Amino acid sequence: MAVTIKSKKEISLMREAGKILCDVHNQLAEIIRPGISTLEIDQFGEKAIRAYGCIPNFLNYNGYPASICVSVNDEVVHGIPKRNRILQEGDIVSLDAGLIYEGYHSDAARTYGVGNISKEAAHLIKVTKESFFEGIKFAKPGNHLFDISEAIQKHVESNGYSIVRDLVGHGIGTHLHEDPQIPNFKERRRGIKLRPGMTLAIEPMVNAGMFDVAWLDDDWTVVTEDGSLSAHYENTIAITEDGYEILTLSE
């Protein structure tokens, strides 16, 4: 599939999809506390998405059984919400959510501390978020896609962490996953040239230990192989004439 360029009209629909998802994330942030189950988080998120008249795009995607991916501690991404998985003080939890508005997808992830967390855990969350912003400094026409990837990797590794290799970001639009794939690490090529109208989900997944990951028997949950903590941060962005616009953040 070729990389699609969205029209002004399409970008404005994606802007609305992004704005709603940002609101949903802000609501989700409010309910994170020790004692809540990961299933309750999913149910709350699905309700919030539907309250806007939107569709949760993760639900039933390749058989994924929920609307929100809830990944705790050493779980990297795609954690399946469960009634008996209760958040504890000191945990870190990544919430990945997406929705469809008027046929256009948005996709974003945040990682939170549950109650008081260790300095080390807080630093991992901070560096993961920063690496997204370091990456998108290169998101402008004329630059190449993997310039973003390289900047993300540099920031992560200079802090002593590692960037996951087995999962990548992606184009997004009328489908949740479109071309191009967006690794968060340097490639030998610079990748495609960025052009106005490209819409991209940039999503660094950062491990406190080694970058190796494994899949649990549920065939979804991705965990760090060494059991170290992992954090995730993602936004949907659009490439503009002179840079980028983040669609899933409010000012």
Shortest distance, CB of residue 86 to Co ion, whole angstroms? 26
Instruction: Give the strand pairing for 230-232 and 205-207.
Output: antiparallel
Contact 185, 149 (CB under 8 A): yes
Residues 94-153 that bind ligand MF3 (CB under 6 A): 96, 107, 109
Q: Which of 114, 125, 139, 201 binds Co ion (CB under 5 A)?
A: 201
- Quote the CA–CA distance of 176 and 184 in Å, as a whole number: 18
Q: Which of 16, 19, 43, 64 binds ligand MF3 (CB under 6 A)?
A: 64
> Is 75 or 107 the residue whose CB approaches Co ion more closely?
107
> Is 64 or 112 the residue whose CB approaches ligand MF3 more closely?
64
Total residues belonging to the chain? 251
Other Cβ atoms within 10 Å of 119 Cβ, number:
7
Q: Is 52 in the site for ligand MF3 (CB under 6 A)?
A: no
Q: Is 107 in the site for Co ion (CB under 5 A)?
A: yes
Contact 109, 48 (CB under 8 A): no
Shortest distance, CB of residue 65 to ligand MF3, whole angstroms? 9
- Quote the CA–CA distance of 89 and 91 in Å, as a whole number: 6
Q: CB within 8 A of 224, min separation 6: which ones?
A: 74, 76, 207, 208, 209, 210, 212, 213, 214, 230
Where would I find the H helices in the chain?
A: 8-31, 38-51, 119-136, 145-158
Q: Return the range that interacts with ligand MF3 (CB under 6 A); candidates 5-13, 62-70, 178-186, 205-213.
A: 62-70
Q: Is 61 in the site for ligand MF3 (CB under 6 A)?
A: yes
> Is 91 or 107 the residue whose CB approaches Co ion more closely?
107
Q: Is 165 in the site for ligand MF3 (CB under 6 A)?
A: no
Q: Summarize as ranges the residues that interact with Co ion (CB under 5 A).
A: 107, 201, 203
Q: Summarize as ranges the residues that interact with ligand MF3 (CB under 6 A).
A: 58, 61-62, 64, 69, 78, 96, 107, 109, 170, 201, 203, 234
